[in-house]
Chain A
Amino acid sequence: MKKPSFWAWLWVGLGVLYFLVPLYATLDFSPTSQA
């Protein structure tokens, strides 16, 4: 099994941020979550 590289984790981390931050922001923005 190949050892995970720093760069692989970096790109995956950025990918997770790009995927999830807008979704979380939408949830945070919705009136139901602020009520």
Chain B
Amino acid sequence: MTQLVRVEERTAPLRFALRDWGWSWLGVVPFSPLPIALLIWPCFSLVVGSFQDQQGHWTLVNIFDLSQPFILQAYWLSIRISLVTAVGGGIFGFLLAYAITQGGLPGFVRSGFLSFGGVASNFAGVPLALAFIATLGRTGLVTAGLKSIFGINLYDHGFNLYTFWGLSLTYLYFQFPLMLLIMAPALDGLKREWREAAENLGATPGEYWRYVALPILMPSILGTMVLLFGNAFGAQATAFALTGGSLNLTTILIGQQITGDVLHNPNLGYALALGMVVIMALSIGLYSLLQRMTGRWLR
């Protein structure tokens, strides 16, 4: 009898969940072709293509080929540039989000930044590359301005827009607005009572941030940085337009394998993309985990 009760207890939530569903899932059915066509089918063909040669025979060669030095270098460069821009964009985006939410600035600053942040976080590819060439290229506005006003030639001091750091600066243009957009609501979620309670207990503003606000926000900050990592990791058009393929990034390598004349091996390209999907899936999994950790505090 006791066992029956236990089984009943265990199955009750499942039946409850099924009853909750009812027929509401039918509403999703008309939209299902879209994720199938745009997400599931491309991923499926990517996985299948990774395990086939160009004649369609099953093989593991493409997966083993991922350990070639130039491919490992491409992954490593992509990971480094994603890390640098995720941390740099994350810190600057957080400070900006702090300034517009907690800094006591006029309301129009906040609404202006949030609106423009939405645009800038999607500003990438050829237009962004052109904008940075016009700004920090050899004859760009800032380069020429610094030279004529202060006599400083950036390129004589080792700076080059078409290298790792130049590309990182360019990526930051769409990275920090994304951090700003995600962190502003999280900072709004900090309750005034927490600050008041900390102040009543004698905490200074610095101590409030160190012992109360930052520990609550940290999973959200780190989670968003993981998202920024994924955002930079998948970028291709900006890097290709800016460096013309001189930087060996994974996304550029995939393009060379799939459409290039010299390195043409689409199936190795699929395997490279599969490796990226795995890294992106890990990033998104980590992001979801960290968001869940902070979610219970910010309700």
Contacts and interface: CB of A to CB of B under 8 A. Distances in A.
Contact of B113 (A1, A3, A12, A29): A12
Interface in B148-192: 172-173, 176-177, 180
B140 interface: yes
B98 interface: yes
Given A7-B99, A8-B99, A22-B173, A28 B105 contact: no
For the residues of B in contact with A, the DSSP-based class is helix
A8 B141 contact: no
B103 A26 contact: no
Contacts, number: 80
User: What 7 pairs between A and B have smallest CB-CB spacing?
Assistant: A8-B103, A2-B104, A29-B134, A25-B141, A22-B131, A8-B99, A25-B135
Interface residues of B, number: 31
Interface in B121-144: 127-128, 130-135, 140-142
Interface in B171-225: 172-173, 176-177, 180
Contacts of B105: 4, 8-9, 12
Given A21-B141, A28-B141, A5 B103 contact: yes
B76 interface: no
The majority secondary structure among interface residues of chain A is: helix
Interface string B97-110: 01110111110010
B249 interface: no
Contacts of B120: 19
Contacts of A10: 99
B95 interface: yes
B104 A22 contact: no
A22 to B, nearest CB: 4
Nearest to A24: B141
Given A7-B99, A15-B180, 20 more contacts: A4-B105, A5-B104, A7-B103, A8-B100, A8-B105, A9-B99, A10-B99, A11-B92, A11-B96, A11-B99, A12-B96, A12-B99, A12-B105, A15-B96, A15-B176, A18-B176, A22-B131, A25-B140, A26-B131, A29-B130
A14 to B, nearest CB: 8
B116 interface: yes
Interface of A: 1-5, 7-12, 14-15, 18-19, 21-26, 28-29
A26 B137 CA distance: 11
A18 B140 CA distance: 15
Contact of B134 (A7, A18, A22): A22
A21 B135 contact: yes
5 contacts: A7-B103, A18-B176, A19-B116, A22-B134, A29-B140
Contacts of B92: 11, 14-15
A12 B141 contact: no
B11 to A, nearest CB: 54
